[in-house]
Amino acid sequence: MKKTQIFFLIPLAFFLSQCMNKEVKTEKVTNTTFISKATTDSAITLLIKQYGDKNKTHIEKGVGQIASLWTEKDGTPKEFQEFCTKQFINDPDKLDKIFNRLQDNSEALFGHFNMISLFLKRPSQLDIGDVYNIDDIFGAYDPTSHFNDDFFANKIAYIVGLNFPFYSLKEKEDLGPKWTRKEWAYARLGDFFTSHVPADVNQKSSDALAAAGNYIASYNIYVGNLLDDQGKTHFPKDMKLLSHWNLRDEIKANYNKTEEGLTKQKMIYQVMLHIVNQDIPDSVINNPKFQWNPNTNKLFKDGKEVVNNPEPDTRYQMFINNFKALKAVDTYTPMYPTYISRSFDEGMEIPVDEVEKLFTGFCSSSEIKQVAALISNRLGRPLQPFDIWYDGFKSRSSMDQGMLDKMTEKKYPNTEAFEKDIPDILIKMGFKPDKAKEIASHITVDPARGSGHAWPSSMKGDKNHLRTRIGKNGMDYKGYNIACHELGHNVEQTISLYMIDYYMMAGVPNTAFTEAFAFNFQKHDLEFLGIKDNTPNKEQLETLDDFWMAYEIMGVSLIDMKVWKWLYDHPDATPQQLKETVTSAAKEIWNKYFADILGVKDTPILGIYSHMIEDPLYLSNYPVGHLIEFQLTQFFKGKDFGSEAIRIYSAGRLIPQLWMKNAVGSEISIKPLLEATDEALKVVR
């Protein structure tokens, strides 16, 4: 999972009036508050009179945008007009010089903000010692929280908005294909100040998200203490698994272990249900002192049954806290008036309705039943709900987990060993040795408390951080597999920062594109270990694996979107009401797209994902990432991977569909994966 700083998530806009296609109708910003329409129109008229009609679009949009954000504290209506006439830049050469100054200063500011945040979160995110209450406070501190306030107060935000005004996603789709690289760089500067959020509101959002992140990072279940109905344990004594990632991955790891593996899968499934339903005993969360039978939900200590006090809907309180903190921002974001629009129109730059259409179309496809029947046949039994995480199409699914653990623990006893091996991994992935060494020099590896994540640098000279979990015996295979995924993120982060033409274009269109690259790395993990994969029909099996993973995560994402829409309709919901809504939505999506396939109705299992709690509305990036990754993988066949990866990812932050057209020649679509699945089924059968 990628952790991304907010200034790389905001989509930036375009301005370069001299290069506009005058036949394209643009949208004006008319949402004014303190500044009246009459004052706005008067300022526009004055500027057009001074500089001529050729600048009309630029002037209308720039003045309209800053008028919607100007407050009484910023000055009187007369001072607003004076500001517009004084600060508007008509000279293209001066505009370019101002752009360069803003770009350089932005890199210095954001880069150092990122370094501060990264350092303050070290105790809570890294396995480097005890965590104290003061660490949580420092970790919640957001050094960017006063950025907007400061830059509106000193009027730089208004200078940027006036001269680099906002363009909607629809306008970017219409105009963007004709823009030059510099025009796109101007564009991505333009949206920096489309909201005027007070520092205290930003800080409350940061506090809520940090608290939810800390809650999830410590949500371990000591599965070595799980009991079956005969009082028997089935997992290694000291094994603890983080929800949901490690719990899910343990289900995946037990597909080659006959009845004992099936028993473990059933036990973890019950654990997941208790977490979603919030009737899990509070005493078993991150606590090795109790034994627990998840089938009966009975709690034991030293062999004797004890009182079971369930977790008091903490999971859903965290969800509500995030919702309220993020909704409080709505008032200050006139261009994107809800967190949903900020997540999709602004962050993903794909409308939520388009995303839902992709997912429902995929989950309704005829290929679902065919792949499910194949999985059932391979397992030799009817499918069960946890088979949504079936992992048997991967080559490693037939390999001994213990053998893989020993191999990775020996090879990577600590983070230093993995970091040292990165150049070799990149060479095996297809990068030339010099490029592999260059990219690796910008990546460092840290020991994570959680399952791991990739934290990007925000300026050249700083390093991208790969966080991965290291056990007392070294990095186990699960940790290694996740580390390969995070390494993909780090490589993308390096290419899209160090090999980009303009800092304002740094990054990718949205996080789905970095997820796509990370998935590509993850699926080559065995090759990095030197294990030759001679699996018959490997390519077809990989297609079926991509298909089944996309199916599962699309279902989860549909729940996430549905719940957020419900929250906006019920902003005063209690944790109990939210819990009922999440479980109801999970059952509804399950019954519509999964029950006929997996044989059970009314299970809320898809509500288990921790992203819903700590990364609001992030989940949709994964299935979109799967679709992008599949199209990219098909494109990379027979080509120089390293060179093509650099070409594609150095395009930076174009809008998603334009990025894809430039990369592979077509837009994001479910069609390539569905067609390839049809062909794979013919072969694998």
DSSP letters for 593-660? HTHHHHS--S--GGGG-THHHHSTT-TTHHHHHHHHHHHHHHHHTTS-HHHHHHHHHTT-S--HHHHH
Give me the pLDDT at residue 344, please. 94
Residue 141 lies in a domain: no
Q: Token digits for 105?
A: 């200063």
- The reply to whether 32 and 48 lie within a common domain is yes
Work out the burial of residue 90: count CB atoms within 10 Å of its CB; fewer than 13 is exposed, 13-18 middle, 19 or more buried: middle
Q: Token digits for 544?
A: 């079926």
CB neighbours (10 Å) of residue 575? 18
pLDDT digits (tens, 9 = 90+) for 41-89: 999 999 999 999 988 989 999 999 999 999 999 999 999 999 999 999 9
Residue 647 lies in a domain: yes
pLDDT digits (tens, 9 = 90+) for 490-546: 999 999 999 999 999 999 998 888 988 998 899 899 999 999 877 788 889 999 999
Residue 297 lies in a domain: no
166 or 273, higher pLDDT: 273
Using DSSP, state whether 449 is helix, strand or coil: coil
Q: Quick one: average pLDDT of 222-236?
A: 97
Entry pTM: 0.81
DSSP letters for 369-433? HHHHHHHHHHHTS---GGGGG--TTSGGGGS-HHHHHHHHHHH-SSHHHHHHHHHHHHHHHT--H
- Give the pLDDT band (50/70/90) at residue 400: confident
Give me the pLDDT at residue 66, please. 94
Give me the pLDDT at residue 194, please. 87
Give me the pLDDT at residue 437, please. 98
Give me the pLDDT at residue 396, please. 62
- The reply to whether 590 and 449 lie within a common domain is no
Using DSSP, state whether 154 is helix, strand or coil: coil
- The reply to whether 492 and 612 lie within a common domain is no
Instruction: Round the average pLDDT of the chain to a whole number and report it.
Output: 91
CB of 312 within 8 A of CB of 282? yes
- The reply to whether 503 and 379 lie within a common domain is no
- The reply to whether 12 and 161 lie within a common domain is yes
Tell me which residue range forms the domain holding 670.
316-393+536-684
- The reply to whether 512 and 634 lie within a common domain is no
- Give the pLDDT band (50/70/90) at residue 345: very high
pLDDT at 358 over 70: yes
Q: Token digits for 613?
A: 């709690």
pLDDT digits (tens, 9 = 90+) for 457-478: 999 999 999 999 888 899 999 8
Residue 429 lies in a domain: yes
- The reply to whether 607 and 625 lie within a common domain is yes
Alpha-carbon distance of 185 to 477, in angstroms, equals 41
Q: Of 470, 497, 528, at which residue does a domain stop?
A: 528
Match 């369930």 to its residue by tokens: 310
Match 């993995």 to its residue by tokens: 418
Residue 288 lies in a domain: no
- The reply to whether 18 and 121 lie within a common domain is yes
**Cα distances (Å, whole numbers) of residue 559 to 243, 270, 384, 566:** 18, 20, 20, 10
Region of 349 please: left (phi>0), alpha (psi -120 to 50) or beta.
left
Residue 200 lies in a domain: no
Q: Which domain CATH number covers 472? A: 3.40.390
CB of 550 within 8 A of CB of 626? yes
CB of 29 within 8 A of CB of 65? yes
- The reply to whether 545 and 677 lie within a common domain is yes
Residue 422 lies in a domain: yes
Look up residue 325 and give its amino acid: A
Q: Quick one: average pLDDT of 371-388?
A: 97
- The reply to whether 515 and 459 lie within a common domain is yes
Number of domains in the chain: 3
Q: CB neighbours of 91 closer than 8 A, spacing ≥ 6?
A: none
Alpha-carbon distance of 671 to 202, in angstroms, equals 40
- The reply to whether 374 and 426 lie within a common domain is no
Alpha-carbon distance of 560 to 618, in angstroms, equals 9
- The reply to whether 162 and 76 lie within a common domain is yes
- Give the pLDDT band (50/70/90) at residue 28: very low
Alpha-carbon distance of 206 to 517, in angstroms, equals 28
Alpha-carbon distance of 174 to 659, in angstroms, equals 14
Give me the pLDDT at residue 516, please. 86
If you count them, how many residues does the chain have? Answer: 685
**Cα distances (Å, whole numbers) of residue 40 to 81, 190, 678:** 8, 19, 58
